[in-house]
Amino acid sequence: MEYTVIAGTDMNVSRIAQGTWAIGGWMWGGTDERESIRTIHAALDKGINLIDTAPVYGFGVAEEIVGKAIEERGHRDKVFIATKVGLEWHNGSVSRNASPDRIRNEVHDSLRRLRTDYIDIYQVHWPDLAVPIEETARTMQALWQEGLIRAIGVSNYTPEQMNQFMSVSKLHTVQPPYNLFERQIERDVLPYVRERHLSVFAYGSLCRGLLTGTMRPDTKFTGDDLRQSDPKFQPPRYTQYLNAVQKLDDLAQKRYGKHVIELAERWVLDQPGIIAALWGARHPAELDAVAGVLDWHLDADTRAAIDQILQQTIANPIGPEFMAPPERHTVAA
């Protein structure tokens, strides 16, 4: 495994992190607790020591599974738990709430579900415009000063929002969406974090499985799996993205003897500023490709060839915006 230190902390984290949204089941067609625990143990066996989760993933289920998996293994101090705060849910519908009261309540719920007395990296899940960002930030900084959390992070924030946040609080990590197909952060967030030496966790690094090379034209998703409405998985775009994946796989095989999944993860890890790629595996075998990602680099010519493939095959690119929970500008009465 490759490791790196989160700037401003002494946490030496693996550059591939286990993501647990799918493990929570909600929006991914359900979950299997034992299989999920086996997956987390497989990740730990591969040297992955960073686990990203959130209260909203399965409305508590993912955090509970992470807590059980770590407790079963022991060695809590060898694992870095990154969880989140600032979303709430009522009857299955999710809304933003990053108010001080909500954060104070949520941190204790997360600690209980995770079976721990501290959180390594605590991230505001989405900006909440109904609450001044400084209020959210001050509350996060207070939790850090109290020793309940070891590092402060934000997710899905713009540079302006991060500026506001950092005017009153420390900030260690930033979690935006980033993969070969979803590169919007190259315009603003990436230059911003590089200049300020913030550590980036890239989420959706496999583009919800699209970049694994296992998707087929007739692949069907069941239950509430979000890929039934993900615009990349709908015609005519789906065919374009599958063509791109095939061409990327050919390129990876020809130049490096690798597959598209290894190329896609390496591409993310090779971008300056990205310290870890989040990999949303939910079966142990889905982590088999981890070894093939490590200890090599893409050359400039291959990066250019990748860009050319994307330009030639994807006529209607689209980003990950469909995943954003509804914004609120005023506090609900």
> Which residues are near ligand NAP by CB under 6 A?
19-22, 28, 52, 125, 155-156, 175, 203-209, 212, 214, 261, 278-282, 286, 289
Q: Which is nearer to ligand NAP, 26 or 192 (CB)?
A: 26
d(CA 210, CA 206): 6
Write down the least CB distance from residue 333 to ligand NAP, Å. Answer: 27
Q: Which residues contact 32 (CB under 8 A, 6 or more apart)?
A: none
End-to-end CA distance of the chain: 49
Spell out the residues 6+ positions from residue 220 whose beta carbon is closer than 8 angstroms to its own.
none
Do residues 332 and 102 touch, judged by C-beta distance below 8 A? Answer: no
Which residue out of 57, 122, 178, 203 is catalytically annotated? 57
User: Of 145 and 176, which has the nearer Cβ to ligand NAP?
Assistant: 176
Least CB distance to ligand NAP at residue 87 (A): 9
Nearer to ligand NAP by Cβ, of 147 and 294: the residue is 294
- Measured from the CB of residue 165, what is the shortest distance to ligand NAP in angstroms? 15
Rounded CA-CA distance 265/1 in Å is 13
Give the residue with the Cβ less far from ligand NAP, 40 or 131. Answer: 40
**Closest CB 28 distance from ligand NAP, rounded Å:** 6
| Shortest separation between residue 301's beta carbon and ligand NAP, angstroms | 26
| Amino acid in the structure at residue 107 | V
Q: How many CB atoms lie within 10 A of CB 218?
A: 5
Cβ closest to ligand NAP, residue 145 vs residue 229: 229
Q: Closest separation between CB of residue 300 and ligand NAP, Å?
A: 25
52-79 exposure pattern, b = at least 16 Cβ within 10 A, e = fewer: bbbbbbbbbbbbbbbbbbbeeeeebeeb
- Closer to ligand NAP at the Cβ: 133 or 261? 261
Q: Is 57 a catalytic residue?
A: yes
Token pair 């990205």 is at which residue? Answer: 274
Which positions are annotated as active-site residues?
Answer: 57
